[in-house]
């Protein structure tokens, strides 16, 4: 079929080549077509391609593909034919198939069919999901031969509520079916992502309680195992009673080029099904009553299935396989690698005990199995993205494994005093405590710490050497692991500070952890401040930890709004003599996002001002910090707070040191300038309302006005009026702002300045333009309206002689032209320095609406000429403005034959430039003279023939009033010019009149034929010689 549609063949070929380049050879099964894209391509071909060429398709033995596939194909072809009919393409689809028992065929009695339909509609109450399920059941019953009477009887017993319908659908199954149903629903409900049919097939076959199933081959002898994913989908549909469906994914990963696509994923047919199954079905069918949470049970079942699958013999041997082969051969492995730990931790959250975890991975039973799990995991998750670093901790302690799993319940159960391996390290040198902290499991770290402290207290209280360490005769020290370092040089204390585990930090210090190993103990003080940890701060002070620099570094990490605990700690530290400066030559242990950008800051009050920590700034000021502190970059608190827009902080700093508002930074800008420049107008207004005498620059006002901050502009201008800052570069700041606002269209600011009474509404700038002139020029209708309400000079001209009306007309601002004309005071015929009136400008620029206003409402003189003698009509003609020409002619006041200084009329211009429509208007409506001559003796006909405008030539000839053989100053005729230029059709038109002399010579002694021959115009030569 594609051979008949080369364009579509080319598209498909291009797509094929692109995939070959991206994925490899199709012949080597590196990629494959999907059913959906082939359907889409075929649809496009048959709908768009077959509009001009008919296509007939024969589909034989459709029923042999099976009921599901046949039904799917028929639905596709039915939808396709609907699209084809709508687009009026020329296609015909013919099927040969044994028919399935469709309801439409079986229920051929209209009354019975209508009875079924009415019953469904009446019970549905508009519920779409209910209708879908019930109709499917009716169709299925019809398909297996159920009588209409039985279908109707069944329909009357179906519950009307969805929960009742689901209960009805899922009822009446035996215990084995119910077990399988529950297991299926648990995987659909609690899987971290939708499973493909391949993954679900493996998962559904796993029975973690079956100790005899140790191999994949045994697993795949499960009753519900099928050879193909398609068969498995049918089983799932049967088990779920149609409440689980498979949908095609948009994106999927193909692990085996030779295998099936993993593009179908399982999900409930509707969210209401998931709600019902979780809320009512699983609760009533739970097969392990010892667990209280159905959610916990679901995650427990999935996690144990994954662990069981992981330890199957063939899977453990799979470490030798490449990752794609491993995933293709054992489909549940990718999911296990990614989500095993997620499910275990969900079980923990649900409060379900997990004492079996170590046994599930054969810990302590067979190091060989654990070694294989480690090798396998390196293939499954080689970067440890989904598992703790070091998993599964071969050669380490059981406590490492339990911490890795994140099971507090299991860890608690296995923490036995005499058997606790607290000092054992994993491959990275981490003790169980270090691992818990690195995995951000503060709860598990606290459990390990609490138990260590408890045992140590017991040991010390007994005074008896109970626990021996490796048989060396010394009492056991249960706290010795508190200062052990891993391979990265980290101790529990440094890791706890990094992960912000405040309670752990406190307990470590309380238990005697060596703070000197921390590097910079004062950082612990800073940590206590940042987190408002008064208990930790208290113990640090008691232990005499140095705190120089702690305040500065704490402030760098505090939020804008700090809590009372933080302020109390800061206050206590300041009372104790804590300084607020940054320590020099110090490298912060933890990540410092601000250091690169704000490394020049060396005082806590500058940092607090930048971060908008108003309460901290107030506290620092009350304990002697100075508001005029300046860092080495020349910045001071008020400037920094204004730069970052912290209004309340600015207020506090200003009240403390009002003189700082006058100080400028290294760039010469004040806090006000910076606030306006950064768009922090609330800050600027706060500063201005203090009415302090400080200079304000025009740039500051302009930026505020550009942002439309009227309140800010008002504050600036009133502040300037009350100070000596009245003049900026020779003109009033208010006047300069007024002119600028009129030019930029800031209506509110114009109104504000007019209200001050400090501006001249008729004042001009260096170009002589007034505010009205600028507003009219730029099209600011609102500003023009404001100004016209005052007694302004509406005819004031600038240095170019342009009035506001001239500018509005020139720029095409129709509404403003109307406003100016409505005043009745504008001179509509005022001339600029080039002699142009507003009407001439309007015509020149083709602004038809403005012309209409000037001629109609303004009674502009339509006969006015410019310095070249050109009238508005001639200008309109010259620019080809047909509508303007028509408008001017309609006034009846124009001289259609008025000549310019070169002796040309509008008709000359239109003829020369081939403006047929304009020529017709001038001749028909304007009664223009068609046979006049310009200074060079040229007629409109001659100009049209010379420039090859055939239509105009014909139009002029049709008037019957032209001298067809008229001569110009060189004795050349229209025929002579047309012949020279090779305009054969015009030559024919002229000769057909019978009024031309083909042998007439011009002043150069040449005839039309000699001109044509010299220029090589063969067609014209032939016509002149033989016509």
pLDDT range class, residue 439, cuts 50, 70, 90 = very high
| The pLDDT of residue 540 | 82
Mean pLDDT of 708-727: 60
Question: For residue range 517-527, what is the model confidence (pLDDT) as tens digits?
Answer: 776 677 788 88
Q: Compute the distance between CA of residue 116 and CA of residue 121 in angstroms, rounded to an integer.
A: 9
Indicate the SS3 state at residue 49. helix
Kindly indicate the confidence band of residue 730, based on its pLDDT and cuts at 50, 70 and 90.
very low
Residue 287 banded pLDDT, cuts 50, 70, 90:
very low
Domain topology for 520-657: 1.25.40
E strand segments, 222-315: 244-248, 264-268
CA distance 233 to 230: 5
Least confident of 354-363, 382-391, 542-551, 719-728: 719-728
The DSSP call for residue 664 is B
Q: What are phi and psi of 983, to 5 degrees?
A: -85, 80
Q: What is the mean pLDDT of residues 62-76?
A: 62
Mean pLDDT, residues 951-961 taken together: 94
163/467: higher pLDDT? 163
- For residue 277, the model assigns a pLDDT of 92
Q: What is the per-residue DSSP string for 530-559?
A: HTT-HHHHHHHHHTT---TTHHHHHHTT--
Given a cut of 70, whether residue 28 has pLDDT beyond it is no
Average pLDDT over residues 873-890: 86
- Residue 1015, classified by CB atoms within 10 Å of its CB into exposed (0-12), middle (13-18) or buried (19+), is middle
Q: What is the 3-state secondary structure (H, E, C) of 797-859?
A: CCCCCCCHHHHHHHHCCHHHHHHHHHCCCCCCCCCCCCCCCHHHHHHHCCCHHHHHHHHHCCC
pLDDT for 216 equals 93
Least confident of 20-34, 37-51, 80-94, 686-700: 686-700
284 or 505, which is more confident?
505
Pairing of strands 264-268, 244-248: antiparallel
Question: Phi, psi (5° rounding) for residue 757?
Answer: 75, 10
The torsion region of residue 435 among left (phi > 0), alpha (psi -120 to 50) and beta comes to alpha
Q: Which of 174-178, 356-360, 647-651, 726-730 has the lowest mean pLDDT?
A: 726-730
Per-residue pLDDT tens digits for 179-213: 999 999 999 999 999 999 999 999 999 999 988 99
DSSP annotation of 277: I
The predicted pLDDT at position 474 comes to: 62
Q: If you average pLDDT over residues 306-327, what whole number do you get?
A: 93
- Rounded to 5°, the CA angle 362-368-374 comes to 80
Tokens representing residue 904 in the block: 């040309």
* Alpha-helical regions (H) of 546-646: 550-555, 564-575, 595-598, 604-610, 614-622, 637-643
Averaging pLDDT over each range in 104-113, 826-835, 999-1008, which range is the top one? 999-1008
The conformation of residue 583, written as its DSSP 8-state character, comes to P
What's the Cα-to-Cα distance from 580 to each of 476, 526, 541, rounded to whole Å? 44, 12, 17
Cβ distance 527 to 557 under 8 Å?
A: no
The region of weakest confidence among 145-149, 233-237, 248-252, 1004-1008 is 248-252
DSSP state of 279: I
Segment 82-100 mean pLDDT: 62
- Residue 638 reports pLDDT greater than 90: yes
Range among 537-541, 631-635, 776-780 with highest mean pLDDT value? 776-780
Cβ-Cβ contacts under 8 Å for 965 (sequence gap 6 or more): 973, 974, 975, 995, 996, 997, 1000
Give one word for 346, left, alpha or beta, with left for phi > 0 and alpha for psi -120 to 50: alpha
Pairing of strands 731-732, 91-96: unpaired
Between CA 198 and CA 205, with CA 204 as vertex, the angle to 5 degrees is 95
Looking at per-residue confidence, does 41 or 941 come out higher? 941
pTM of the model: 0.55
Nearest to 569 by CA among 535, 522, 523, 613: 535
List, in sequence order, every residue forming a beta bridge with 248; answer none if it has no partner: 264
Q: Which residues contact 901 (CB under 8 A, 6 or more apart)?
A: 868, 869
Cα–Cα–Cα angle for 860, 862, 867, rounded to 5 degrees: 105
């Amino acid at each position: 079929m594609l051979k008949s549609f080369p364009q579509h063949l080319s598209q498909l070929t291009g797509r094929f080549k692109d995939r070959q380049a991206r994925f490899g050879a199709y012949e080597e099964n590196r990629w494959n077509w999907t059913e959906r894209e082939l359907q889409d391509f075929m649809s496009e071909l048959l709908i768009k391609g077959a509009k001009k060429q008919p296509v007939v398709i024969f589909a034989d033995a459709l029923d042999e593909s099976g009921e599901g596939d046949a039904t799917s194909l028929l639905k596709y072809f039915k939808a396709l034919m609907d699209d084809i009919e709508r687009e009026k393409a020329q296609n015909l689809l013919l099927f040969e198939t044994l028919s399935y028992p469709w309801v439409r065929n079986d229920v051929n009695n209209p009354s019975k069919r209508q009875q079924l339909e009415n019953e469904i509609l009446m019970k549905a109450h508009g519920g779409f999901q209910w209708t879908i399920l019930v109709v499917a059941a009716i169709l299925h019953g019809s398909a297996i031969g159920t009588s209409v009477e039985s279908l109707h009887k069944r329909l009357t017993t179906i519950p009307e509520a969805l929960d009742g319908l689901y209960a009805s659908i899922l009822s009446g199954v035996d215990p084995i079916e119910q077990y399988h149903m529950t297991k299926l629903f648990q995987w659909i409900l609690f899987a971290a992502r939708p499973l493909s049919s391949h993954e679900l097939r493996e998962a559904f076959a796993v029975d973690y309680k079956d100790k005899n199933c140790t191999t994949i081959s045994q697993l795949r002898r499960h009753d519900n195992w099928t050879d193909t994913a398609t068969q498995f989908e049918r089983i799932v549909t049967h088990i779920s009673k149609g409440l689980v469906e498979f949908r095609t994914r948009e994106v999927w990963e193909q692990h085996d080029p030779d295998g099936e696509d993993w593009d179908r994923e399982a999900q409930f047919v509707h969210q209401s099904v998931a709600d019902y199954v979780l809320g009512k079905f699983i609760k009533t069918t739970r097969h392990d009553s010892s667990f209280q949470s159905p959610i916990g049970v679901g995650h427990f079942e999935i996690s144990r299935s994954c662990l069981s699958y992981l330890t199957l013999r063939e899977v453990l041997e799979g470490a030798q396989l490449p990752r794609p082969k491993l995933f293709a051969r054992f489909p549940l492995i990718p999911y296990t690698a990614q989500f095993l730990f997620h499910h275990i931790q969900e079980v923990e959250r649900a409060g379900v005990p997990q004492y079996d975890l170590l046994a599930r991975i054969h810990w302590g039973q067979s190091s060989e199995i654990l070694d294989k799990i480690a090798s396998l995991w390196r293939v499954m998750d080689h970067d440890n993205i989904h598992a703790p670093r070091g998993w599964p901790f071969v050669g380490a302690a059981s406590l490492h494994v339990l911490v890795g799993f994140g099971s507090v319940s299991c860890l608690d159960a296995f923490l036995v005093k005499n058997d606790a391996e607290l000092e054992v390290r994993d491959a990275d040198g981490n003790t169980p405590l270090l691992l818990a902290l690195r995995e951000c499991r503060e709860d598990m770290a606290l459990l390990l710490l609490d138990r260590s402290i408890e045992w140590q207290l017991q040991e010390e209280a007994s005074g008896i050497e109970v626990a021996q360490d490796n048989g060396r005769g010394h009492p056991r020290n249960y706290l010795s692991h508190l200062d052990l370092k891993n391979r990265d040089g980290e101790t529990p204390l440094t890791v706890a500070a990094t992960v912000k585990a405040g309670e752990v930090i406190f307990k470590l210090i309380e238990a005697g952890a060596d703070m000197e190993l921390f590097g910079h103990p004062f950082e612990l003080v800073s940590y206590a401040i940042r987190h408002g940890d008064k208990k930790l701060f208290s113990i640090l002070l008691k232990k005499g930890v140095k705190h120089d620099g702690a305040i500065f570094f704490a402030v760098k990490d505090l939020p804008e709004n700090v809590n009372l605990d933080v302020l109390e700690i800061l206050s206590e530290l300041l009372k104790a003599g804590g300084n607020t400066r940054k320590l020099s030559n110090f490298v912060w242990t933890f990540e410092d996002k601000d250091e690169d950008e704000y490394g020049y800051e060396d005082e806590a009050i500058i940092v607090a001002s930048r971060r908008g920590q108003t309460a901290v700034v107030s506290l620092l000021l009350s304990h002697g910090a100075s508001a005029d502190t300046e860092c080495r970059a020349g910045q001071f608190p008020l400037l920094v707070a204004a730069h970052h827009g912290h209004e309340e902080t600015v207020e506090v700093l200003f009240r403390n040191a009002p003189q700082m508002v006058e100080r400028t930074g290294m760039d010469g800008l004040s806090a006000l300038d910076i606030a306006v420049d950064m768009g922090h107008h609330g800050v600027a207004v706060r500063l201005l309302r203090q009415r302090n005498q400080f200079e304000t620059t025009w740039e500051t006002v302009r930026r505020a006005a550009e942002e439309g901050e009227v309140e800010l502009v008002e504050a600036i201008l009133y502040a300037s009026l009350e100070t000596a800052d009245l003049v900026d570069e020779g003109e009033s700041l208010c006047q300069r702002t007024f002119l600028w606002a009129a030019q930029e269209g800031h209506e509110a600011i114009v109104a504000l300045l007019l209200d001050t009474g400090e501006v001249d509404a008729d004042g001009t700038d260096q170009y002589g333009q007034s505010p009205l002139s600028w507003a009219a020029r730029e099209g600011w209708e609102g500003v023009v309206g404001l100004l016209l309400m005052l007694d302004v000079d509406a005819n004031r001209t600038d240095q170019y002689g342009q009035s506001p009306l001239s500018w509005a007309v020139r720029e095409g601002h129709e509404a403003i032209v109307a406003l100016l004309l409505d005043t009745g005071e504008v001179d509509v015929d005022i001339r600029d320095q080039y002699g142009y009136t507003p009407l001439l400008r309007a015509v020149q620029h083709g602004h038809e609406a403005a012309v209409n206003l000037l001629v109609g409402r303004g009674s502009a003189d339509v006969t006015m000429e410019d310095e070249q003698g050109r009238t508005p009509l001639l200008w309109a003609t010259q620019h080809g403005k047909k509508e303007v020409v028509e408008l001017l002619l309609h006034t009846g006041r124009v001289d259609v034959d008025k000549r310019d200084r070169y002796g040309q009329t509008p008709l000359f211009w239109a003829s020369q430039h081939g403006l047929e429509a304009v020529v017709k208007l001038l001749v028909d409506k304007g009664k223009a003279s068609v046979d006049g001559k310009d200074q060079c003796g040229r007629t409109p006909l001659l100009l049209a023939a010379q420039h090859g405008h055939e239509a105009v030539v014909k139009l002029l000839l049709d008037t019957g009033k032209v001298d067809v053989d008229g001569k110009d100053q060189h004795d050349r005729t229209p025929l002579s010019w047309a012949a020279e230029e090779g305009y054969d059709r015009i030559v024919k038109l002229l000769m057909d009149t019978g009024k031309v002399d083909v042998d007439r010579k011009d002043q150069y002694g040449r005839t039309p034929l000699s001109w044509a021959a010299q220029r090589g115009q063969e067609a014209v030569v032939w016509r002149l010689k033989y016509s």
